[in-house]
């Protein structure tokens, strides 16, 4: 009986450590969520991402909206291989940053840096790159860029885990 209770307690602790919420929808606007367990604090930043691939070479549309990763209107012509957006991370604590992509835009996106660690007051500049070489069809591509930030609550755990 004691073994079963011990196993259940270990299972619940592990579940609380590795739990991440599951979202059924793609964010239409920037969304922020946070939660914590015994060892870690979690932040989830959800950015809508979109691009319109056009036939004409008459205009390029660029968006500067900070709440949406809008790559704009881009013609599918030779010479333009990628479109980039930049995200700057600044941490006031030990943090692990992980970036994931969702939606029909996800197969065209990549990052210059992913699954990386930040020390307190350290900065990191990350490129989110839309690879035009992979695109075969004109149209709209959309989805979500999800950024997970994990912060250990215990200082010695942060130092051991992060460096």
Give domain limits for the chain: 2-162
Listed in order, strand segments (DSSP E) in 59-108 are 69-75, 82-90, 95-103
pLDDT tens sequence for the chain (163 residues)? 678 887 887 777 776 666 666 666 777 888 899 988 878 899 999 999 999 988 876 666 677 777 888 988 888 877 778 889 999 999 888 899 999 999 999 999 999 999 999 988 999 999 999 999 898 889 999 999 999 999 988 877 666 665 5
What is the per-residue pLDDT for 22?
A: 63
What digits encode the pLDDT tens for the residues 17-52?
666 666 667 778 888 999 888 788 999 999 999 999
Instruction: Kindly report the pTM of this predicted structure.
Output: 0.80
In terms of DSSP bridges, do strands 123-131 and 109-111 run parallel, antiparallel, or are they unpaired?
Answer: antiparallel
Alpha carbon distance 99, 97 (integer Å):
7
Alpha carbons 6 and 151: distance in angstroms, whole number: 27
What does the pLDDT read at residue 110?
A: 95
The pLDDT of residue 122? 92
Q: How far is CA 33 from the centre of its chain?
A: 13
pLDDT of 58 reads 64
Answer yes or no: are the C-beta atoms of 83 and 72 closer than 8 Å: yes
Rounded Cα–Cα distance for residues 28 and 135 (Å): 23
Q: DSSP label at 75?
A: E
Q: How many Å from the N-terminal Cα to the C-terminal Cα in the chain?
A: 40
């Amino acid at each position: 009986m004691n073994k079963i209770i011990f196993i259940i307690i270990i299972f619940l602790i592990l579940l609380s450590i590795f739990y991440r919420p599951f979202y059924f929808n793609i964010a239409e606007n920037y969304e922020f969520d946070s939660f914590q367990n015994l060892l870690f604090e979690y932040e989830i930043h959800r950015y809508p991402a979109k691009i319109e691939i056009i036939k004409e070479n008459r205009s390029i549309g660029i968006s500067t909206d900070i709440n949406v990763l809008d790559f704009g209107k881009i013609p599918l012509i030779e010479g333009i291989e990628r479109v980039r957006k930049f995200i700057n991370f600044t941490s006031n604590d030990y943090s692990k940053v992980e970036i994931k992509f969702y939606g029909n835009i996800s197969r065209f996106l990549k990052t210059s840096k992913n699954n990386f660690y930040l020390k307190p007051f350290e900065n990191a500049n990350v490129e989110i790159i839309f690879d035009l070489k992979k695109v075969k069809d004109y149209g709209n591509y959309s989805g979500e860029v999800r950024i997970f930030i994990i912060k250990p609550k215990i200082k010695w755990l942060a130092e051991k885990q992060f460096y």
